[in-house]
């Protein structure tokens, strides 16, 4: 499929340092529509730092980030969520005291319109809106196959399931760009396969299976995947960007990256 690959997110000469530590140095890259982009690199290469910059956590000292032509550098995280950038975290960051269903429901925040006064009155408008959004949440729960966990408090769920709930929460935001920070870290093969399947399914869209949930029906056409598992990355990604010590050292298709001498050096070290 050779679909339109217009640039969705452009990163220009991004530099980020913490005191003397240079987390990112002049990183430039394009993130395009209709592709799964993988960012790989050894530990401490700056992958998560890059996501955190896109996400508004870290304020880069230099460089700009453009989303659909709009400058979003140093924008607040919640504004970025409204624009349609959602993410999952390497170390799960769920709302531990809420149930699975409420965690996903909480992500509908930016898409709901009621204020606290309507909420206080509840019956009428707020009630109707809650039910409407609940339908979407149920579709996401159904898609991720976590129905039995609907009412369970997430703090007591096993690791793999919590990762899945977190993916569900990101989906509930109906994002245009989905950032996945090591979605398969610490999982066994079976769990990895499940998550890989979900990522592909989200990317492709489910069409008529979920006619009323746009995010599942049409899919999310721009996914950024930070992952250590090379097998997964090579299979899923359309394009790969390799970071090492905060610099971009390579970019290309999985086949190109596999044979790139710079990448091999970064991962395996240089023969002396």
Contacts to other proteins by CB under 8 A: 55, 57, 76-78, 81-82, 86-87, 89, 93-98, 102, 105-107, 109-110, 112, 114-116, 118-122, 126-127, 130-131, 134-135, 138, 169, 173
> Which stretches within 109-155 are classed as H helix?
116-121, 125-143
Contacts made by residues 203-209, CB under 8 angstroms, sequence distance 24+: 203/36, 206/143
Least distance between other proteins and beta carbon 124 (Å): 11
Complex with other proteins: residue 119 or 205, whichever CB lies closer? 119
Least distance between other proteins and beta carbon 266 (Å): 29
CB neighbours of residue 189 within 10 Å: 10
Least distance between other proteins and beta carbon 173 (Å): 6
Complex with other proteins: residue 79 or 197, whichever CB lies closer? 79
Decide: helix, strand or coil at residue 116.
Answer: helix
Complex with other proteins: residue 102 or 191, whichever CB lies closer? 102
Least distance between other proteins and beta carbon 234 (Å): 28
**Can you give the three-state secondary structure of 28-95, one letter per residue?**
EEEEECCEEEEEECCCCCCHHHHHHHHHCCCCCCEEEEEECCEECCCCCHHHHHHHCEEEECCCCCCC
Complex with other proteins: residue 25 or 103, whichever CB lies closer? 103
């Amino acid at each position: 499929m050779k679909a339109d690959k217009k640039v969705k997110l452009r990163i220009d000469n991004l530099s980020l340092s913490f005191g003397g530590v240079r987390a990112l140095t002049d990183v430039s890259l394009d993130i395009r529509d209709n592709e799964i982009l993988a960012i790989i690199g050894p530990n401490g290469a700056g992958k998560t730092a890059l996501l955190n910059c896109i996400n508004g956590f870290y304020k880069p000292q230099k460089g700009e980030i453009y989303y659909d032509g709009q400058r979003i550098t140093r924008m607040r995280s919640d504004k970025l969520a409204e624009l349609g950038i959602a993410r999952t975290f390497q170390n799960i960051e769920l709302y531990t005291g809420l149930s699975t269903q409420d965690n996903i429901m909480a992500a509908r925040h930016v898409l709901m319109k009621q204020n606290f006064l309507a909420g206080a009155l509840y019956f009428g408008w707020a009630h109707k809106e809650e039910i409407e959004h609940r339908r979407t949440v149920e579709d996401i729960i159904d898609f991720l196959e976590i129905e039995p966990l609907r009412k369970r408090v997430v703090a007591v769920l096993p690791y793999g399931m919590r990762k899945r709930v977190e993916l569900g929460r990101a989906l509930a935001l109906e994002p245009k760009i989905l950032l996945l920070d090591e979605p398969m870290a610490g999982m066994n093969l079976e769990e990895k396969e499940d998550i890989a399947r979900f990522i592909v399914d989200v990317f492709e869209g489910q069409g008529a299976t979920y006619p009323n949930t746009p995010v599942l029906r049409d899919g999310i056409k721009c996914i950024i995947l930070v992952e250590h598992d090379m097998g997964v990355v090579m299979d899923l990604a359309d394009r790969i960007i390799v970071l090492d010590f905060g610099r971009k050292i390579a970019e290309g298709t999985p086949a190109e990256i596999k044979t790139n001498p710079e990448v091999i050096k970064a991962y395996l070290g240089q023969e002396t």
